[in-house]
């Protein structure tokens, strides 16, 4: 029942019969108070929640190579980044053709174009496996030659495990400590060079000693001296000529630095001849 603009609600369960409908009062404007509405998903990053609308990444995506690793992997800042695997991934990002081309370049030392070709992408993959191969070849060839020499003279032969540890110390130590020292020297003389570039250069400079060690099985002492001398000269020339253009900026002392680099590489060849190319019974 409607009375004077107001109405009273009547329970439909108590009153039976026809109930008249309430007339339409017409158009009524309803106003709402302003509220702080936000769109979802948020357009900007808030806190630790990303504002992107992409679906969550599955765990299996980490095994696919389609995504961009630079955006998927968290980046560590500061010096702590040097202790992560991701910091060294670019230096192992080479394929077989790159390594083979650089190995060939090391066998032609007079070109002096190795640093120029590897300036944009020096690698540590080649130097690591060259040193590892040298350790294996030096231990195996040295052991074989010593065994044959003892059996030829009908003498007792015992395997010397120190040959492996000594070879590992020489090759890994040389290709690590010498570039580090040269890096400091060049920086002191205002002719700084990339440390990874030096590691790469010195690592590939040792490749020529692999075939030289294989040829050392020939039981002729003068031949072994010739092989060690040729390998040492090629390795020293390769390093010196590739650093010459860069070290020339050091001024008057550039000749002294280049000569020291050359002689140090020759010294390595002499050490290898005395300890690896020589068989004593």
Q: What is the pLDDT of residues 145-179, one digit of tens each?
A: 777 776 777 777 776 777 788 889 999 999 999 99
Q: What per-residue confidence (pLDDT) applies to 216?
A: 83
Closest to 102 measured CA to CA, from 132, 141, 129, 69: 129
pLDDT at 51: 42
pLDDT at 276: 75
Q: Which whole number is the average pLDDT over 98-126?
A: 90
Checking if the pLDDT of 100 tops 90, the result is: yes
| Residue 75 included in any domain | no
Q: Which of 168, 169, 149, 165 is CA-nearest to residue 157?
A: 149
Cis peptide, bond prior to residue 157, ω within 30 of zero: no
Examine the pLDDT at 52 and tell me if it is beyond 70: no
> Does residue 197 lie in a domain region?
yes
Residues spanned by the domain of 155 = 93-103+111-279
| Higher-scoring residue by pLDDT: 59, 239 | 239
Is 82's pLDDT higher than 60? yes
pLDDT of residue 175: 94
What is the Cα–Cα distance from 79 to 82, expressed in whole angstroms? 6
What total number of domains does the chain contain?
1
What digits encode the pLDDT tens for the residues 222-252? Answer: 998 999 999 999 999 999 999 887 787 666 7
- 18-22, 52-56, 112-116, 198-202: which has the highest mean pLDDT? 198-202
- Asked, for residue 84, whether it belongs to a domain, the answer is no
Task: Give domain status of residue 118, yes or no.
Answer: yes
Closest to 275 measured CA to CA, from 155, 172, 164, 130: 164
Asked whether residue 43 is domain-assigned, the answer is no
Q: Is residue 79 part of a domain?
A: no
pLDDT computed for residue 20 by the predictor: 53
The verdict on residue 42 lying in a domain is no
- CA nearest 213: which of 280, 143, 159? 143
pLDDT higher than threshold 90 for residue 218: no
User: Rounded mean pLDDT of the chain?
Assistant: 74
Alpha-carbon distance of 107 to 103, in angstroms, equals: 7
Residue 18 counted as domain residue: no
Residue ranges with strand state E in the chain: 2-3, 6-7
Dihedral sign (CA 163, 169, 174, 178)? negative
């Amino acid at each position: 029942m409607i009375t004077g603009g107001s109405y009273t609600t009547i329970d439909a369960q108590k009153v039976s019969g026809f109930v008249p409908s309430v007339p339409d009062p017409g158009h009524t404007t309803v106003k709402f108070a302003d509220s702080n509405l936000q769109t979802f998903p948020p357009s900007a990053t808030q806190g630790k929640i990303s504002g992107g609308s992409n679906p969550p990444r599955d765990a299996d995506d980490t095994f696919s190579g389609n995504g961009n690793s630079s955006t998927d992997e968290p980046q560590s800042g500061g010096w702590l980044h040097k202790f992560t695997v991701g910091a060294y991934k670019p230096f192992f990002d080479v394929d077989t053709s790159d390594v083979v081309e650089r190995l060939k370049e090391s066998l032609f030392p007079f070109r002096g174009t190795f640093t120029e070709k590897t300036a944009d992408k020096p690698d540590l993959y080649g130097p690591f496996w060259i040193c590892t191969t040298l350790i294996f070849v030096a231990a195996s060839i040295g052991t074989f030659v010593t065994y044959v020499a003892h059996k030829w003279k009908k003498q007792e032969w015992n395997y010397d495990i120190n040959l492996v540890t000594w070879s590992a110390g020489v090759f890994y130590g040389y290709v690590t400590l010498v570039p580090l020292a040269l890096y400091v020297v060049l920086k002191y003389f205002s002719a700084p060079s990339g440390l990874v570039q030096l590691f790469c250069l010195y690592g590939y400079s040792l490749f020529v000693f692999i075939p030289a060690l294989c040829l050392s099985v020939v039981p002729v002492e003068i031949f072994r001296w010739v092989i060690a001398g040729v390998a040492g000269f090629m390795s020293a020339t390769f390093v010196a000529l590739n650093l010459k253009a860069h070290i020339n900026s050091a001024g008057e002392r550039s000749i002294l630095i280049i000569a020291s680099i050359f002689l140090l590489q020759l010294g390595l060849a002499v050490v290898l001849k005395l300890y690896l190319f020589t068989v004593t019974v």
